Structure 1
Amino acid sequence: MTELAELPAVPGAARTQGRPRSSRAHEAILEAVLDLIEEGTTVEALSMEAIAARAGVGKATIYRRWAGKDELLLETLVKLKGPAPQPSGESLRADLIELLSVVGKKDQRAVRVMPCLMPEVSRSPEAYRIWQEAITEPRREVMREVLRRGVASGELRADLDLEVTVSMLISPLLLHRMVRWNPRLDEVDDLVAQVVDVVLRGVAA
């Protein structure tokens, strides 16, 4: 397949080896990775050759943007899930509800891709590392920061264990939304608020 033509670079965009980036080629490469994973290609089997062929670019175009497959996968996962949400700062409770309201919710592309990717994440240490670095850890850190502010303001106990508290908040909602462990909770309209309130009662100053 012929390589996509390089388009003029956006003003201020980074350049590599003196050549302007093509936003069209860049997006085509990310989409190619998602397409291949969606079709069942494992992370280990995913090759730069296959990605280039699907995107309609040469391998050199890929390597001008990413040093290797791991770096490309990181950006692809960020594209799929989007950046970590940022709370509005209204209050401790409101920020936690805001952050937890998106836990386990995905757009239709992610619904198709993630089931193909998760077995690989469970099996492959490298895929797990990429998943943690690109998706999970940034979201945990946002919630840690909200809790740190709660400790600093005196709303939460000074000896709060951030890791345990984050897990207490996220895990019930993630479990329910991923596997519907308790279908009775489907009928609870304010489930997120209830989880937040129960946890906050236990960790309040």
Structure 2
Amino acid sequence: MKTDTPTAETGQHGTAVRRGRPRSEAAEQAIFTAVEDLMADGNTLSELTIEGIATAAGVGKATIYRRWPNKEALLVDVVGRLEEPVPEPTGGGAREDLIAMVDYIRRRGLAKRTRWVLKAALGQMHGLPELHAAYLERVVKPRREVGLHLVRQAIAEGVIRDDLDVELLGDLLMGPILYRSILSDDTDLEDPDLSRRLVDTVLDGVAPR
């Protein structure tokens, strides 16, 4: 007699027990933390290996490969995770949203561990073209698009002249705070009024004549 192939086993109380291991958030957190710790200890991106990461995380290599096809994909997720989500619109108009965006970068720069790991990773990515390209596509590009959207919003609101290069304006607004976050020390970022002063200085120069 033909029987159906079982897809689950039955426990002692007749309850279906699913086969396979569920995706473990704890394992993922351990893997992310292991990569951050290894980098904080001075390991370069090229020195990191799946085997070394698995050992540091206390998981098997198969656990990593079930989630990421290779080391590069894992590292992009690790670095992307260090980047906090961009702020939601404030509802106060383009100027307030630009200040919030710049302040998001300022506060990120004050997170010492995150800042150190990001600086180390970004400084080494140029030697790893595939990783660098993936980081630009998955992390940098979406955030840049948010900034450019805010610039276009400011133009539409009449805060910025409409005869200027949108991408150049994005660099003018975000560049200074990125420079301080990556190359300066904490004292250059601690002023909570810095973001407002930076945005207002740029807006004053690009306001409609």
TM-score interval for Structure 1 and Structure 2 normalised by the shorter chain: 0.7 to 0.9
The answer to whether structure 1 residue 148 and structure 2 residue 152 are counterparts is: yes
- The code of the aligned residue for 1:202 comes to G
Aligned length: 187
Q: What is the TM-score normalised by the length of structure 2?
A: 0.75
The worse-fitting range, judged by mean Cα deviation, of 170-179 and 71-80 is 170-179
Q: 1:108 aligns with which of 112, 115, 126?
A: 112
Q: CA offsets, 1:144-179, max 9 Å, x none? A: 111122233344333432211111011222323443
d(CA) in 2 for partners of 1:188, 1:22 = 40
Q: What is the TM-score normalised by the length of structure 1?
A: 0.77
d(CA) in 2 for partners of 1:128, 1:186 = 27
Residues 1:47 and 1:21: Cα distance change in structure 2 (over 3 Å): same
CA contact (8 A) 1:29 1:52 kept: yes
Identity %: 39
The worse-fitting range, judged by mean Cα deviation, of 21-30 and 38-47 is 38-47
Residues 1:169 and 1:159: Cα distance change in structure 2 (over 3 Å): same
User: Between Structure 1 and Structure 2, whose CA radius of gyration is higher?
Assistant: 2
Q: 1:79 aligns with which of 75, 78, 81?
A: 81
Question: Once superposed, what is the RMSD of the aligned Cα atoms?
Answer: 2.8
Residues 1:72 and 1:177: Cα distance change in structure 2 (over 3 Å): closer
Q: 2:199 aligns with which of 193, 196, 199?
A: 196
Name structure 1 gaps, 5 residues minimum: 1-16
User: How big is the shift at 1:45?
Assistant: 1.9
Give the structure 1 partner of residue 3 of structure 2.
none
User: How big is the shift at 1:54?
Assistant: 0.8
CA contact (8 A) 1:43 1:127 kept: no
Give the structure 2 partner of residue 56 of structure 1.
58
Give the structure 1 partner of residue 67 of structure 2.
65
User: How big is the shift at 1:139?
Assistant: 2.2
